[in-house]
Structure 1
């Protein structure tokens, strides 16, 4: 009975080890695929991270100084650029108003026949700039999200490989133990012969 149980547990561990090994391989492939695509797509945009002398606030320096002058190729760079460069300039140009707020003001002003034409045009230009800034930020933050998923897949792949290795070792010891164990057959205490149930 003990030998059979050892073998059953060992086979289960071996099967799980193979499944985890395959899962680890797939996770590594996914991680590599995601990172290559993020790098390829960002490289095609030819965005150069701002130089150190273009960083105005301490928050910008903290987020962007490490990438100063580099070509954008990673999701982390994309997030830093989107949040600490594009958004900062958008907020500065709109006095902290969002695209939705500026667009509402523009629509209202454009319908007002007594509105100053230059002010309407300036607000329309600001509205367009905010729209383009939001679109670019959205694309960059998507690149960051996919890059993060690639990193998570990499970590999960390493975890799967480690778990697979542990299960392989435990299965090996389980099979080894099963070879050494004889099935216990209860004997009749008086006669010494195998007991019958």
Structure 2
């Protein structure tokens, strides 16, 4: 095979591969933009704003991201992660000793059993048990709302991370496409400058060996 032909085949192949990488990069960029725009729009609709720095409690000030985003609207995946873990998560720990929604359900069941027994026995502790149940009901409802919002915010954060990874992959694809295009173009340029009759150079020692054979 002549050198010119090989240069054309390799150069053209690299240029085609560069084109495919470019298309992949464009698709990844489109996905990254969609993820970022979707997350921003969904979070902006919630109209959540971080507490101003002047109103942060001592515990809240211990969180670097709550201080960093103080007074800002919640409109990005990173902000959603911060608000979910550092703000909502912090305050959920202060409700009912940090018990989860499921754990408070067990407390509810236990209190209802005690109340039923107290009613039958006409126990004077009935009023106190009923008050405890009312408090637990309120705590469980608050925890449910907090955990639900926290879960939604973390889902948005996760979606934004997919967008960030897509953007990184797109950058790699663009760099790869650029490199392959340059190498392929160099090969085609070399082919254009190479005479059709030129083949691969054969070392003199190899020529003598074949001649003697």
TM-score w.r.t. length of structure 1: 0.87
Where does residue 121 of structure 2 map in the other structure? none
The equivalent residue for 2:17 is 16
Residue by residue, what CA displacement relative to the aligned partner does 1:126-165 show, whole Å, maximum 9, x if unpaired? 1111111110001100111111111111111111111111
Which residue, out of 148, 164, 176, partners 2:177? 164
In structure 1, the residue matched to 2:58 is 56
Counting only pairs closer than 5 Å after superposition, residues 70-109 of structure 1 correspond to structure 2 as: 70-109=72-111
Counting matched residue pairs gives: 192
Q: Report if aligned partners of 2:60, 2:66 keep a CA contact under 8 Å in 1.
A: no
TM-score (norm 2): 0.81
5+ unaligned residues in a row in structure 1: which ranges?
Answer: none
What is aligned with 2:158?
A: 145
What do you get for the CA RMSD once the two structures are aligned? 2.5
Instruction: Report the alpha carbon displacement of residue 185 of structure 1 after superposing the two structures with TM.
Output: 8.4
Range with bigger deviation, 20-29 or 99-108: 99-108
Structure 1 pair 59/10, CA: closer, same or farther in 2 (3 Å)? Answer: farther
In structure 1, the residue corresponding to 2:199 is in which secondary structure? coil
Q: Which has the larger radius of gyration?
A: 2
Provide Cα deviations, 1:97-137, integer angstroms capped at 9, x if missing partner.
22221121112222332361010111111111111111000
1:96 positional shift: 2.3
Residue 111 of structure 1 corresponds to: 113
| Greater Cα shift, 114-123 or 55-64 | 55-64
Q: Which residue of 1 aligns with 2:46?
A: 45
For 2:70, which of 68, 71, 87 is the aligned residue? 68
Equivalent residues of 2:32, 2:167 under 8 A apart? yes
- Separation (CA, whole Å) in 1 of partners of 2:80 and 2:151: 10
Aligned partners of 2:61 and 2:161: how far apart in 1? Answer: 22
From the superposition, tell whether residues 8 and 87 of structure 1 become closer, same or farther in structure 2 (CA, over 3 Å).
Answer: same
Distance 1:9 1:104 in 2: 70
Alignment partners' CA distance in 1, 2:160 and 2:5: 47
Residue number among 176, 180, 183 corresponding to 2:189 in the alignment: 176
Unaligned 5+ segments in structure 2 are: 119-125
Q: Deviations over 1:43-90 (max 9, x none)?
A: 111101112222432674312111111111001111100000101100
